[in-house]
Amino acid sequence: MRRVVARIVLGLYTWLAKRVIARHKPRVVAIAGCVGKTTTKDLIATVLSSQLNVRAAAGSYNSEWGVPLTILGRKMSASPVGVVGTAIAACKLLMPKARYPEILVVELGVDHPGDMQRLLGIVQPSVSVVTNTRNTHLQNFDSIEAIARENRHVVEVLPENGLAILNHDEDPTREMAHATAACVITYGFSDGARLRITGHRFSRHGQTVQLKDSSVPTSLTLKTRLLGEQQLYGVAAAVAVGREFGVSDDAIAESVATFDGPPGRMRLFSAADEGVVIDDTYNASPQAVVDSLRVLDHLPHPRVAVLGTMGELGDDFAAGHDRVGTEAAQHVDYLVVLGEGGERIATAARSAGLSQQAITQAHSIREAVEVVSKHLRASTLVKASQALYLERVVVALIEPENEPQTLQRLSRLEHQRNLLKAPPEG
């Protein structure tokens, strides 16, 4: 019965969202890809909002539920009051004198074949950004090529006067340029990218980067609080979108400099023992973990990583965890692992040269915290798939004055304490 009711409510939200789009006709910027969608979406929305009226959801509202709710400007609620409130708010948007933002920024996520086409049946972009093509969700797709085909739909639907903004550094994403007659802007570190990331300098407080547009004589220098080279892809995409909509370079630079990033995605906190903690607990895939581990190279010793099971890898489960363990051995002084995938990570790290004394297979969040706490003034990375709720480790390590809402899925101090007591999942 609940499923039937849920499908009815979803159908209502979808119908209302389509009517709102048809009524107000906002320009739609869609962000697709395997990794980095939410950060890229938030960066783009921040840049555009500096000079334009923009709507974008807070968080990862990228599903068949999330996209309609983004359009309607509402949050998910399962209560009857929430459903009625969403319907009333949508009806108000359909009134003759109703106003709506001129730009809608949406995140489109795919977990199964056919997901992208369903989402594009709700909203049609005039600007499409594809962040990358990675081996995530392989339990539901036959191959990386299948994932690329699914995400390519967001480029194929662009009108001729539209714009595709594509990651130049990955073949499957770059080749999506052949799927559209729209204008294409590529971005990345490699030669040939129209918007090339160069002049990159890292510090404990963020990064400075230069972006060179091959169609513009001067480069743009930006400062960002975001950590890791992988985060600069989102910065480059935001610059490309901002310029497309006429946002000045000065406004773009200011927006990027003040952007903290979404919770759970490479957020840097001060630890209680004068160390630092990188909260990257939102989710994990092999390449994303590798990217995050490499950030530790720029931080003081001792370098500690708390890692765990990565989900949705399908047949790549073993190889993906082995890769992470091998990489971890090159970047950490101490490794703490949790879950079934953590065991494989630990085994691969030992094979790659990390000593047994430097590796702990933790059986609870509390044990993981106790191990990390022994290493004073450490630089600690915490990362795994969502099911492990490793933000509980972050909660226990960071300075008490950090606001709870800066951590993903945790909103109240008491809730944090309860989660800390719970055993790990996965």
Residue 59 has a pLDDT of: 78
Count CB-CB contacts under 10 A for residue 389.
23
Helix axes 231-244, 249-258, angle to 10 degrees: 150
Looking at 3.40.50.300, 3.30.420.40, 3.30.43.10, 3.90.190.20, the CATH number of the domain 267-421 comes to 3.90.190.20
In the block, residue with structure tokens 């910027």: 29
Dihedral over Cα of 56, 57, 61, 65: its sign = negative
Cα distance between residue 280 and residue 265, in whole Å: 4
Q: Strand pairing of 379-383 and 195-203?
A: unpaired
Topology of 2-258 in CATH? UDP-N-acetylmuramoyl-L-alanine:D-glutamate ligase (3.40.1190)
Residue 110 has a pLDDT of: 92
Residue 139 has a pLDDT of: 72
- Under 8 Å between Cβ of 279 and 402: no
Residue 409 has a pLDDT of: 61
In the block, residue with structure tokens 């949406």: 106
Dihedral over Cα of 83, 88, 89, 90: its sign = positive
Cα distance between residue 89 and residue 73, in whole Å: 8
Is the whole model's pTM more than 0.95, yes or no? no
Dihedral over Cα of 263, 267, 273, 274: its sign = negative
Query: What one-character DSSP code corresponds to residue 403?
Result: -
For the record, the structure tokens of 307 come out as 């890692």
Q: Could you say which residues of the chain have pLDDT below 50?
A: 403, 411-426
Element spanning 155, H or E: helix 144-156
Residue 261: partners with Cβ closer than 8 Å, 6 or more residues away = 39, 42, 225, 226, 231, 267
Q: Residue 262: which of 27, 43, 3, 22 has the closest Cα?
A: 43
- Under 8 Å between Cβ of 80 and 275: no
Residue 66: partners with Cβ closer than 8 Å, 6 or more residues away = 57, 60, 76, 107, 109
- Under 8 Å between Cβ of 61 and 86: no
Parts of the chain belonging to CATH 3.90.190.20:
267-421
Residue 77 has a pLDDT of: 85
| 3-state DSSP assignment of residue 203 | strand
Parts of the chain belonging to CATH 3.40.1190.10:
2-258
| 3-state DSSP assignment of residue 166 | strand
Residue 384's alpha-carbon distances to 292, 347, 349, in angstroms, are 11, 17, 16
- Under 8 Å between Cβ of 331 and 293: yes
Cα distance between residue 307 and residue 324, in whole Å: 9
For the record, the structure tokens of 148 come out as 């690329």
Cα distance between residue 222 and residue 225, in whole Å: 10
CA atoms within 13 A on the CB side of 257: 11
Residue 222 has a pLDDT of: 95
